[in-house]
């Protein structure tokens, strides 16, 4: 039976769904059918996969615990928060809205995302932001290797360190890293940090609830040498 309880300090009441008794399919259908402006609390997720996938409503959803693969995939419009960690493919193909994980996330966070904001307070695994197409990703910790591979648009902010082959074959996405970068991928170079980038980064950090100083970051992007195939660059592809 559904109960109503307050969620954090909000005045709106939240519908509580317990995944120890309900199925993920049932939860997702209820979220798809929900009215805009409603709040939801999901209890006992137990690392199950595909939770909160395909939301296309102005919802406020809080997950109390860890989630598995493809949490909040294809997300639009709403705000979802995980009080825990997430598995592979967090917010894959996100279009808009906000997805926030307070713990760590596995590989391929925000993969192919077209828009919206993904925040991970902890660390992420390999391929964070792979093929991103407009999404903004802010990671409070460090990221793994091959992150932002073929990233086409959007911004990736890393408050910790980055693994090997950062930004390999990158297009027009921007990468900001506060810590050390193990190595840069093909056609990715460090670029000047101008006032416009400091302002852009400051706004992204603010939206993600971060307090780091933008001046402590370095910017990386495309050298634009691999946009079109050139036989002289064959070994780099």
pLDDT tens, position by position, 133-176: 999 999 999 999 999 999 999 999 999 999 999 999 999 999 99
Strand 188-191, strand 218-222: pairing: antiparallel
**What tokens does 170 get?**
């990158």
Q: What is the mean pLDDT of residues 127-137?
A: 98
The rounded mean pLDDT for the chain is 93
Residue 212 has pLDDT above 60, yes or no: yes
Residue 51 has pLDDT above 80, yes or no: yes
Residue 101 has pLDDT above 80, yes or no: yes
Q: What is the mean pLDDT of residues 196-200?
A: 98
Residue 6 has pLDDT above 50, yes or no: no
Q: What is the C-alpha to C-alpha distance for residues 124 and 108, in angstroms, rounded to an integer?
A: 8
pLDDT tens, position by position, 9-47: 344 599 999 999 999 999 999 999 999 999 999 999 999
Predicted local confidence at residue 225, as pLDDT: 86
| Phi-psi region at 177: left, alpha or beta (left = phi > 0; alpha = psi -120 to 50) | beta
pTM (two decimals):
0.91
Q: What is the C-alpha to C-alpha distance for residues 195 and 89, in angstroms, rounded to an integer?
A: 33
For residue 84, what pLDDT band results from cuts at 50, 70 and 90? very high
- CB-CB neighbours of 227 under 10 Å: 12
HSE, side-chain direction, 13 A CA sphere, residue 120: 32
Specify the fold of 46-210+217-236.
Pectate Lyase C-like (2.160.20)
State how far the alpha carbon of 48 is from the alpha carbons of 53, 87, 111, 152, 197, in Å.
12, 9, 19, 31, 39
Predicted local confidence at residue 229, as pLDDT: 67
Question: Which one has a higher pLDDT value, 3 or 73?
Answer: 73
Percent of the chain at pLDDT > 90 equals 89
User: Closest Cα to residue 170, out of 181, 185, 157, 158?
Assistant: 185
Q: What is the mean pLDDT of residues 61-65?
A: 98
Q: What is the C-alpha to C-alpha distance for residues 237 and 85, in angstroms, rounded to an integer?
A: 35
Q: How many Å is the Cα radius of gyration of the chain?
A: 18
Q: What is the C-alpha to C-alpha distance for residues 57 and 143, in angstroms, rounded to an integer?
A: 30
Q: What is the C-alpha to C-alpha distance for residues 126 and 149, in angstroms, rounded to an integer?
A: 10
């Amino acid at each position: 039976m559904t109960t109503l309880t307050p969620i954090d300090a909000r005045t709106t009441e939240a519908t509580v769904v317990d995944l120890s008794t309900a199925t993920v399919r049932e939860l997702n259908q209820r979220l798809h059918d929900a009215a805009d402006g409603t709040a939801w609390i999901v209890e006992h997720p137990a690392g199950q996969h595909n939770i909160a996938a395909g939301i296309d409503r102005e919802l406020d959803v809080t997950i109390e615990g860890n989630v598995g693969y493809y949490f909040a995939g294809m997300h639009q419009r709403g705000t979802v928060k995980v009080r825990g960690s997430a598995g592979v493919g967090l917010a894959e193909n996100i279009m808009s809205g906000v997805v926030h994980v307070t713990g760590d996330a596995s590989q391929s966070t925000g993969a192919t995302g077209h828009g919206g904001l993904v925040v991970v307070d902890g660390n992420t695994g390999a391929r964070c932001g792979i093929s991103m197409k407009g999404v903004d990703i802010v990671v409070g910790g460090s990221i793994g290797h091959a992150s932002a591979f073929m990233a086409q648009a959007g911004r990736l902010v890393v408050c910790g360190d980055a693994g090997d082959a950062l930004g390999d074959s990158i297009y027009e996405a921007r990468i900001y890293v506060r810590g050390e970068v193990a190595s840069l991928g093909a056609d990715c170079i460090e670029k000047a940090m101008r006032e416009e980038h400091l302002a852009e980064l400051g706004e992204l950090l603010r939206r993600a609830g971060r307090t780091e100083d933008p001046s402590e970051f370095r910017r990386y992007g495309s050298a634009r040498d691999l946009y079109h195939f050139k036989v002289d660059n064959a070994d780099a592809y």
